[in-house]
A and B are shown apart, each in its own frame.
Chain A
């Protein structure tokens, strides 16, 4: 099924001084329009782009890989989407320094594509977990956290069955300050109880070696308005403001 995309000449969302973001849609992506809407709240022009419209992805200045169940989560979550030709364009964007954010299934895709290290295994509970979680900002040296202070605790919801992050090289992540968020309790402590899926070292998100690509299981677009319980996610999406 092709998702109706906004035409590039649709100026309603094209604010000033913000880049044009391609929100990549695969068969089974289902948070694509939510991300476009959330970016619209901070006047970042964005449109849903079908993964086969590779030219539109090339011409975009930034990319979001949204949540959902691409390819029905067959084989492993994100495994098939990670091996589509459009991911080579995403890889190029990352090399060129463009902001690239993978949310939930998008995070699984970027890990499966080996653009950042690690893998996502089934939640420790063996259940689909859908709940608000507290995240501690671990580094502000990325486009996606520069709005925050280190140690800030923000609330963003999760919704996943395969979110247990397993790094290839935990020491490298720590040494390079590449852990973006950790799951914490209300006091900002990374306890086992506050870890919703059993992720190693309570890791909820990381950045790649070049710091312009980030993956996270929590959904910032679902924390983009006070009426949703939190608008903390807007600070993350602000990474797409110029």
Chain B
């Protein structure tokens, strides 16, 4: 069966996010009041797998081997 995995890669807590800081400043300049802003990269991957669990495992493997860098990133996987 074909599954769709949505992978979200974010900077680990404590790793400075200069892009987020810049975007936040711009939003504030436009008059928005912001408590916090973080950036994330999202990848949507379609592939065949034996089960939802297998699809989840494989998507995690994709994160470990390429999509995220464990030194600076956290990731989440959602299979649908």
Does A131 touch B at the CB level, under 8 Å? Answer: no
Q: How many pairs of residues, A versus B, come closer than 8 Å at their CB atoms?
A: 35
> For A112, what are the chain B residues with a Cβ–Cβ distance below 8 Å?
69
Does B15 touch A at the CB level, under 8 Å? Answer: yes
Please report which residues of chain B, range 50-80, place their CB below 8 angstroms from some CB of chain A when the two chains form the complex.
65-67, 69, 71-72
Contact A79 B66 (CB under 8 A): yes
- Which of A118-126, A144-152, A181-189 lies on the face that meets chain B? A118-126
Please report which residues of chain A, range 112-154, place their CB below 8 angstroms from some CB of chain B when the two chains form the complex.
112, 117-119, 121-126
Give the docked Cα–Cα distance between A162 and B22 (Å). Answer: 15
Contact B71 A166 (CB under 8 A): yes
Q: How many residues of B contact A (CB 8 A)?
A: 13
* B positions within 8 Å CB-CB of A: 11, 15-16, 18-19, 21-22, 65-67, 69, 71-72
Give the docked Cα–Cα distance between A136 and B12 (Å). Answer: 30
Q: How many residues of A contact B (CB 8 A)?
A: 19
Name 13 extra pairs, CB < 8 A, besides A119-B69, A119-B72: A75-B66, A76-B69, A83-B66, A121-B15, A121-B16, A122-B18, A123-B18, A124-B16, A124-B18, A125-B18, A164-B16, A166-B15, A168-B71
